[in-house]
Amino acid sequence: MKDIARLDIPAYCQKSVTEVFATMLSMDAERFDVGSEDDLEGERVVGSVSFVGAIMGTVSIHMAADFARMATAAMLGMDYDDVQAKEEVHDVVGELSNMVGGNLKSRFCDDGFPCSLSLPSITTGSHFRIKCRDLTRHDRFGFHCQEHTVIVEVFLKEGSC
């Protein structure tokens, strides 16, 4: 019997995030437990992709705007000060969430939950939380990365197809 509660989301997320950050940013990401109320302070950039199919939901990667700019510089081989355009930062954060989400989607499919992946979307602002109604499983992880914190949230429920 397939049950989303049995999916090893912590392991999938850890592998995916560490691999994506190491390969694309040359940065180590170390997972730590984060409380449900712990959050990033100040302006942040969030990249999200959604799953639709036998499993429904979304994975979001939250990072401080400053770290998002740093990640953009690392991914594009630029100096931090040369990163000026928000579009570049959004594109990089979107691509990172696409890679992490694509990896999770592949694991879900292999575990018997075929689904499709959406294009990435970007949310920016400060002091906000993302909530997904009617989704039955919520996982939340923190990653230490170059003295910054990245929060990864996964909301899921079983789909109808």
Q: Which residues bind another protein (CB under 8 A)?
A: 19-20, 23-24, 26, 28, 73-80, 82, 87-88, 91-92, 94-95, 98-99, 101-103, 105-110, 114, 117, 119
Helix and strand counts by DSSP (H, E) for the chain: 3, 7
Closer of 39 and 95 to another protein (Cβ): 95
| Backbone torsions φ then ψ of 90, nearest 5 degrees | -65, -40
- Smallest gap from Cβ 77 to another protein, in A, equals 5
**Contact between 109 and 115 (Cβ < 8 Å):** yes
Cα separation, 47 vs 101, whole angstroms: 10
Closer of 107 and 138 to another protein (Cβ): 107
- Smallest gap from Cβ 157 to another protein, in A, equals 20
